[in-house]
Amino acid sequence: MSTVPILKIEKLSNSFPGVKALADVNFTLRKGEIHGLMGENGAGKSTLIKVVTGLYRKDTGGGIFFEDKLFEAHSPMEATKSGISTVYQEINLIPNLSVAENIFLGRQPIRRGMIDWKEINARAETALKKLDIHIDLTKPLSSYSIAIQQMVSIARALDISAKILILDEATSSLDAAEVEQLFSVMRKLKSEGLSIIFITHFINQIYEISDRITVLRNGKLVGEYETSTLPRVELIARMLGKELVEFQYKAPERLRGEKKSPNKVFLQVRSMERRGSISAFDLDICKGEVLGLAGLLGSGRTEIARLLFGIDKPERGNTLLDGKRISISSPKKAIENNFGFCPENRISEGIIPELTVRENIILALQAKNGVFKYLSRKRQEEIADRYIKALNIITPTADQITKNLSGGNQQKVIVARWLASNPRFLILDEPTRGIDVGTKAEIQQLILSLSRKGMAILFISSELEEMIRCCQRIAVLRDRCKIAELTGKQIDQKVIMRTIAEG
C-alpha cells in the first residue's frame, strides 16, 4: 500500500443551527487503503462524507484536496463523476424498477437516441459478477432481500470508474456471510488501487478490514491510528472520550444469569403457520422474560414478529393471551391489547421525519391513551427528556426536527418511543442496529430493567453477543422454521451458532 494521499481534508468545519457538526477536522485517505471512520452516533461521520460529496456546504475556511487539487463538488452526482462514489445505509434506489435499471439509473447508455437495454443488461451483469451476485437482473429490485439491494447499490457505485468508494454503514443489514463476500470484493478492489472509506459501528468489521482508523468525537478529530497497533479497548475509549480505566471499570458484565422461578405464561402460540413465510411453530412468552429469536437473515424472525403483532395473518394456529383465546388480527388489535412493536426498518416504517424528537417519542404512548386523554406538554417534556438522557440522544433540544438528527440518533428516538409506551409485550426487531457501542449497552440495560418490572419482550438481533447478554430463552430459526429452543447453559455463542448451522 502506498502512502500517497488521494484525499486530504484540512481544517474542515460545518455548522447547523445550534450544532457544530464538524470543527477543524483533518483527514487523510491514502491511495489503495481501507480507512475506517469511527465515532459515536452524532460524532460527525456522515456529515464529513456529505460535505466531501457536495450534499452539504462546508463553512468558510479549510479545504478538500482530491489528487492534490482543490476539490469542491456541488452535488453527489458531480462527486460521482469526479470519481467519488458513496453508498449509504438507507438504500436510495427505486424499488419497482429492475435491478439493471437501478444500476444505471440516471446514466443509461443511449444508442441512436434509444436506451440501450442490451448494453445495460450486459454491463449490469458484469458489475454484479464482480460482487459474486448471480440474480435475475430483469426482476424488480423490491423482489430481493435488503442485503441484495445493498449489494446492488454497491455495484452501482462501482460501475462508474470510482477512485474513492465510501461505504457509510452499508454493511449494517448484511449477515455474516454477506459481509465476508463484500469484504473479499473490497480487498480485491483495494489491490487494484481503489481507496475506501468505511464507516461502521461493528468493531470486529473495522479490525478485519481496515488499514487505518480515524476517530471523531463531537465533531472534532480525536486521532488517526494504524489499525494493527490500536487495541480495541483503546479504540472504544477514544470514541467514547473516556479514560481507559474508567471504561474498563464500567464495562458491563454479563447481564443474564439471574435465575428466576418460571414466570406465568403470558402469550401462548400454537401451530401458527403462514405458508411461504413461516412453517408451523409453537411459542410461549412469559411475563418478565426476554425471549430471543436467533437465525440468519431471512430465517423467519421478522415473519414471526409480524404475525404476533397482527401485521400478517396466519393461515392457521391459535393464540392464548393470559389463558384466553384471542385473535390478534390487526396491529390495532395488538395495540388495544397493549402490545408494542419496534420494527426493523425504523427509518421507513417508524420515524416521522418532520415531527420533533419529543413528538416522535410520545407518539405511541399518546396513541395508546387515545385522543381524549391528551398528554400535557409538561408530561411530554418529562418523558422526552428522560429518554433523551437514558439513550444518550444527541440533539440540541427535544424540539429539534427529527430528520436533522444523525442516523443512529433517529433510531434511538424510535426505540425510545416504544420503550416509553410501556406495553405489556414489546417486540424489538434489531433495536441496536446502527447504534454505537456505548449506547448499545445502555439499551440492553433498559431492556433488562423493563423485563424485571414484568414486561414480556421478544428480542430479535443478528448480534449473538447481545442476545446472550439479554435473553433468558432463545428460539432458533432456520429456513423459515423454528428448529430449537435454548435455555440456561445452552445460551452460548458456539451452541447457538451450531444450532443455526446444523439444527
Ligand X SMILES: Nc1ncnc2c1ncn2[C@@H]1O[C@H](COP(=O)(O)OP(=O)(O)OP(=O)(O)O)[C@@H](O)[C@H]1O
What residues make contact with ligand X under the rule CB under 6 A? Answer: 16, 19, 21, 39, 41-47, 394, 404-409
| C-beta of 296 vs 437, nearer to ligand X | 437
Minimum CB separation from ligand X for residue 150, in Å? 16
Question: Min. distance of Cβ 57 from ligand X in angstroms?
Answer: 11
Which of residues 300 and 408 has its CB atom nearest to Mg ion in the complex?
408
- Range 430-451 burial, b when 16+ CB lie within 10 A, else e: bbbbbbbbbbbbbbbebbbebb
Cβ proximity to ligand X, 16 vs 374, nearer residue: 16
Q: How far is the CB of 271 from ligand X (least distance, A)?
A: 42
Q: What angle do CA 86, 90, 93 make, to 5 degrees?
A: 75
**Min CB(9)–ligand X separation in Å:** 14
What burial letters (b/e) apply to 376-391, b meaning 16+ CB within 10 Å? eeeebeebbeebbebb
CA pair distance 73, 428, nearest whole angstrom? 40
For the chain, the distance separating the N- and C-terminal CA atoms, rounded to the nearest angstrom, is: 43
For the bound state, the minimum distance from the C-beta of residue 228 to ligand X, rounded and expressed in Å, comes to: 24
Q: Which of 407, 448, 469, 471 binds Mg ion (CB under 5 A)?
A: 407
Q: Is 431 a binder of Mg ion (CB under 5 A)?
A: no
* Dist. CA 407–CA 479, nearest whole Å: 31
Cell 462514489 sits at which residue? 85
Among Mg ion, ligand X, none, the one that 21 touches (CB under a kind-dependent 5 to 8 A) is ligand X
Rounded least distance, CB 209 to ligand X, Å: 18
| Nearest residue to 35 via CA among 240, 199, 239, 217 | 199
Task: Give the residue nearest to ligand X (CB).
Answer: 408
Residue among 137, 173, 175, 180 nearest 155 (CA) = 137
Residue recorded with cell 440474480? 135
CB of 220 to ligand X, least distance (A): 11
- Residues 352-391, one symbol each (x = binds Mg ion by CB under 5 A, - = not), give ----------------------------------------
Which one of the spans 44-52, 79-87, 309-317, 395-403 is the region binding Mg ion (CB under 5 A)? 44-52
Q: Which residues of 78-96 are buried (b: 16+ CB within 10 A; e: fewer)?
A: ebbebbbbbbbbebebeee
Nearest distance from residue 86's CB to ligand X, in Å? 13
Q: For Mg ion, which residue of 46, 121, 173, 195 counts as binding (CB under 5 A)?
A: 46
Q: Does 36 bind Mg ion (CB under 5 A)?
A: no
Please say which residue, 190 or 412, places its beta carbon nearer to ligand X. 412
Q: Least distance in Å: CB of 407 to ligand X?
A: 4
Q: How far apart are the C-alpha atoms of 148 and 134, rounded to whole Å?
A: 10
**Choosing among ligand X, Mg ion, none, which partner's interface includes residue 409 (Cβ < 5 to 8 Å by kind)?**
ligand X
CB atoms within 10 A of CB 280: 16
Nearer to Mg ion, 46 or 214 (CB): 46
112: Cα within 13 Å, side-chain hemisphere: 1
Tell me whether residue 46 or residue 210 sits nearer to Mg ion (CB atom): 46
List of residues 6+ apart from 293 with CB closer than 8 A: 301, 304, 305, 458, 459, 460, 474, 475, 477
**Contact (CB, 8 A) for 288 and 451:** yes
User: Smaller CB distance to ligand X: residue 95 or 353?
Assistant: 353
CA neighbor of 90 nearest in space, from 305, 350, 394: 350
Q: Which 8-state DSSP code applies to residue 259?
A: -
What does 19 interact with, of Mg ion, ligand X, none (CB < 5 to 8 A by kind)?
ligand X
Closer residue to Mg ion in complex, CB, 407/423: 407
Between 41 and 380, name the residue whose CB sits nearer to ligand X: 41
Q: Give the residues lining the site for Mg ion (CB under 5 A).
A: 46, 407
